[in-house]
């Protein structure tokens, strides 16, 4: 095992309070990508 994720980063990744806000942020961000819509490619180009 080679430590590639620092203790500080791991703390940020696993802290429930920080991650709660991250959860809200991610939910919105994913919604934007998903609800961003879809379409064809042939007419656009």
Partner 1 sequence: MSRIVILGAGIAGHVAASHLRRKLPKEHEVVVVSPNSNYQWIPSNIWVGIGRMKPKDILFPLAPLYAKKHIDYKQAKAISFYPEGDAEEVKPYVLAEYVAGANKGTTEKVTYDYLINATGPKLNFEATEGLSPGKNKTHSVCTYTHADEAWNALNDLIQQMKQGKKAKILIGTGHAKATCQGAAFEYILNVEQELRRHKVRDMAQITWISNEYHLGDFGMDGMLMSYGSNIMKSSEMVEMIFEDRGISWILGAGVNKIEDGVAQYETLEGDYKTESYDFAMLIPSFSGHGFKAYNKDGEEITNKLFKGFMIVDADYTPKPYEEWSVQDWPETYQNPSYSNIFAPGIAFAPPHSISKPRKSKNGTDITPAPPRTGMPSGITAKLVADNIIEMIKHSNNELHHKGSMGNMGAACIASAGFGMTKGSGVSITTYPIVPDYNKYPDTQGRKLGKTFGTIGLAGHWLKLALHHAFIYKAKMKPFWWLIPE
From 7, 8, 28, 33, residue interacting with partner 1 (rule: CB under 8 A): 33
Q: Does position 42 bind partner 1 by CB under 8 A?
A: yes
Q: Does position 36 bind partner 1 by CB under 8 A?
A: yes
SS3 sequence of 3-40 = CCCCHHHHHHHHCHHHHHHHHHHHHHHHHHHHHCCCCC
From 7, 8, 28, 45, residue interacting with partner 1 (rule: CB under 8 A): 45
Q: Does position 28 bind partner 1 by CB under 8 A?
A: no
Q: Report residue 13 as tokens.
A: 């990744």
């Amino acid at each position: 095992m080679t430590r590639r994720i620092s203790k500080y980063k791991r703390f940020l990744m696993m802290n429930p309070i920080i991650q709660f806000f991250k959860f809200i942020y991610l939910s919105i961000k994913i919604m934007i990508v998903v609800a961003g819509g879809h379409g064809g490619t042939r007419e656009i180009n």
